């Protein structure tokens, strides 16, 4: 369960940062994992309109988007856009990040692929501005809504503060902390109540990736699914990605992750293992199921398709049992 904050202010300790920190702290306080991406301090190239994303589904620019930001967006259950008003819009740094998400737009609308997290992903906007004009946040809200649509997040509302100019202004605001807590309670809390399941295999390149993606896609409102591997490889299997794309599910930005680390940050209520062999975890008090599934890595595409269909079938049963 990841709450991802996209921080747009260039100030290190500015009002936006104060607001986003409160949101992320309150989320962590109720059990969510939180990550903040500070757009000003990351290497994010502005979109060069090469249109490769619309033709090929990928952005050829190499920077932090490719390194981890696309993967974080894909993993997130809640995406928080946080920005000060700069000339009645968001900051250029945050806008660069958002423009580079055209690749999500292309994969969704041109390639007709669905994000596994589509059923439950929420978006929330935090913003501050110095003046008090009625339309102060209108442009930011419109851009943010359009961004949320591209990354398949349902717009869950906003908290915006006028008359906030100097560093520290928001820290003395009387109602902000209560309002953030209320928003977190409404947006984040229901997602922390889902059953936490880890799907584990050895490399986290094929079987467990497919299982977690189906679990999110088919039962993400009830199941908080994540996958991991006892010996994670560098990249997920491209044949697996192609087979999942045939099912309409997009795993373009999925990354293998370590089982040990995942268990630490994502304490599960259930573990479904499928071939992590002697390294399969056995945690006291945690329900563990073993699925006997052949390893499709290095096999032909039909073998991958067969394993994929079998996993989908099992996930349909699992999600029914956990409704
Ligand atoms: C380049 C620039 C443009 C700004 N444009 C606006 C604006 O159009 N309307 C407004 O109300 N405040 C504007 N501000 C003020 C900031 O929104 C305000 O100081 C805010 O509290 C800064 O948030 P931060 O501390 O998170 O960076 C602008 C500030 C800068 C530096």
Task: State the distance from the centre of ligand 1 to the C-alpha of 89, rounded, in angstroms.
Answer: 9
Determine whether the shortest distance from the Cβ of 155 to ligand 1 is under 6 A: no
Q: Please determine, for residue 322, whether its predicted confidence score (pLDDT) is greater than 90.
A: no
Domain at 216, CATH number: 3.40.50.2300
Determine whether the shortest distance from the Cβ of 290 to ligand 1 is under 6 A: no
Q: Please determine, for residue 276, whether its predicted confidence score (pLDDT) is greater than 80.
A: no
> Comparing C-alpha atoms, which of 3, 5, 1 is closest to residue 126?
5
Q: What range defines the domain where residue 10 resides?
A: 2-191
Judgement on whether residues 222 and 131 belong to the same structural domain of the protein: no
Q: Please determine, for residue 35, whether its predicted confidence score (pLDDT) is greater than 80.
A: yes
Judgement on whether residues 31 and 136 belong to the same structural domain of the protein: yes
Write out pLDDT tens, residues 181-194. 999 999 999 999 99
> Comparing C-alpha atoms, which of 136, 44, 19, 53 is closest to residue 94?
44
Task: State the distance from the centre of ligand 1 to the C-alpha of 88, rounded, in angstroms.
Answer: 9
Regarding pTM above 0.85, the answer is yes
CB 122 within 8 A of CB 1: no
Domain at 39, CATH number: 3.40.50.360
Judgement on whether residues 20 and 162 belong to the same structural domain of the protein: yes
Quickly state the pLDDT bin for 280 (edges 50, 70, 90).
confident
Q: Which of 175, 191, 207 is the last residue of a domain?
A: 191
Judgement on whether residues 121 and 19 belong to the same structural domain of the protein: yes
Give nearest CA residue, ligand 1 atom 5. 86
Judgement on whether residues 179 and 205 belong to the same structural domain of the protein: no
Judgement on whether residues 206 and 224 belong to the same structural domain of the protein: yes
Write out pLDDT tens, residues 141-159. 999 999 999 999 999 999 9
Write out pLDDT tens, residues 224-272. 999 999 999 999 999 999 999 999 999 999 999 999 999 988 889 999 9
Q: Which of 151, 166, 191 is the last residue of a domain?
A: 191
Q: Work out the number of other CB atoms within 10 angstroms of the CB of residue 139.
A: 14
Quickly state the pLDDT bin for 275 (edges 50, 70, 90).
confident
pLDDT for res 145: 98
Judgement on whether residues 157 and 268 belong to the same structural domain of the protein: no
State the closest ligand 1 atom to the C-alpha of 164, by its place in the atom list counted from 1: 21
Judgement on whether residues 169 and 201 belong to the same structural domain of the protein: no
Give nearest CA residue, ligand 1 atom 2. 86
Write out pLDDT tens, residues 90-140. 999 999 999 999 999 999 999 999 999 998 999 999 999 999 999 999 999
pLDDT for res 70: 98
Task: State the distance from the centre of ligand 1 to the C-alpha of 164, rounded, in angstroms.
Answer: 8
Judgement on whether residues 205 and 281 belong to the same structural domain of the protein: yes
Judgement on whether residues 183 and 201 belong to the same structural domain of the protein: no
Residue with tokens 């399969």: 280
Task: State the distance from the centre of ligand 1 to the C-alpha of 177, rounded, in angstroms.
Answer: 21
State the closest ligand 1 atom to the C-alpha of 133, by its place in the atom list counted from 1: 11
Q: Which of 165, 191, 217 is the last residue of a domain?
A: 191
Task: State the distance from the centre of ligand 1 to the C-alpha of 9, rounded, in angstroms.
Answer: 9
Residue 228's φ and ψ, nearest 5 degrees, are -160, 170
**Could you give the number of structural domains in the chain?**
2
- The whole-angstrom separation of Cα 144 and Cα 81 is 7
Quickly state the pLDDT bin for 281 (edges 50, 70, 90).
confident
Judgement on whether residues 67 and 147 belong to the same structural domain of the protein: yes
Determine whether the shortest distance from the Cβ of 112 to ligand 1 is under 6 A: no
Judgement on whether residues 204 and 173 belong to the same structural domain of the protein: no
pLDDT for res 265: 86
Quickly state the pLDDT bin for 83 (edges 50, 70, 90).
very high
């Amino acid at each position: 369960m990841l709450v991802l904050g996209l921080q747009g202010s260039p100030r290190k300790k500015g009002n936006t940062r104060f607001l986003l920190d409160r949101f992320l702290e309150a989320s962590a306080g109720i059990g969510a994992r939180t990550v903040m991406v500070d757009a000003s301090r990351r290497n994010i190239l502005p979109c060069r309109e090469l249109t490769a994303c619309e033709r090929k589904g990928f952005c050829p620019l190499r920077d932090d988007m490719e390194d981890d930001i696309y993967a974080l967006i894909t993993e997130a259950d809640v995406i928080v856009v946080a920005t000060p008003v700069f000339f009645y819009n968001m900051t250029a740094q945050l806008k660069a990040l958002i423009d580079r998400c055209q690749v999500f737009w292309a994969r969704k609308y041109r390639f007709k692929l669905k994000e596994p997290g589509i059923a439950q992903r929420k978006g929330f906007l935090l913003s501050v501005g110095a003046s008090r004009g009625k339309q102060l946040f209108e442009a930011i809200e419109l851009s943010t809504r359009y961004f949320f649509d591209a990354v398949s997040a349902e717009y869950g509302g906003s908290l915006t503060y006028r008359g906030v100019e100097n560093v520290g202004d928001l820290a003395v605001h009387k109602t902000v902390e209560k309002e953030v807590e209320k928003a977190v309670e409404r947006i984040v809390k229901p997602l922390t109540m889902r059953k936490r399941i880890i799907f584990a295999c050895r490399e986290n390149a094929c079987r467990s990736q497919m299982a977690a993606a189906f679990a999110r896609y088919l039962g993400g409102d009830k199941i908080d699914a994540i996958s991991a591997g006892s010996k994670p490889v560098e990249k997920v299997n491209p044949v697996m990605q192609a087979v999942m794309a045939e099912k309409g599910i997009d795993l373009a930005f999925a990354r293998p992750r370590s089982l040990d680390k995942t268990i630490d940050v994502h304490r599960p209520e259930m573990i479904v293992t499928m071939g992590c062999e002697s390294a399969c975890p056995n945690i006291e008090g945690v329900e563990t199921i073993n699925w006997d599934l052949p390893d499709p890595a290095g096999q032909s595409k039909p073998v991958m398709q067969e394993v994929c269909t079998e996993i989908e079938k099992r996930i349909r049963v699992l999600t029914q049992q956990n409704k």
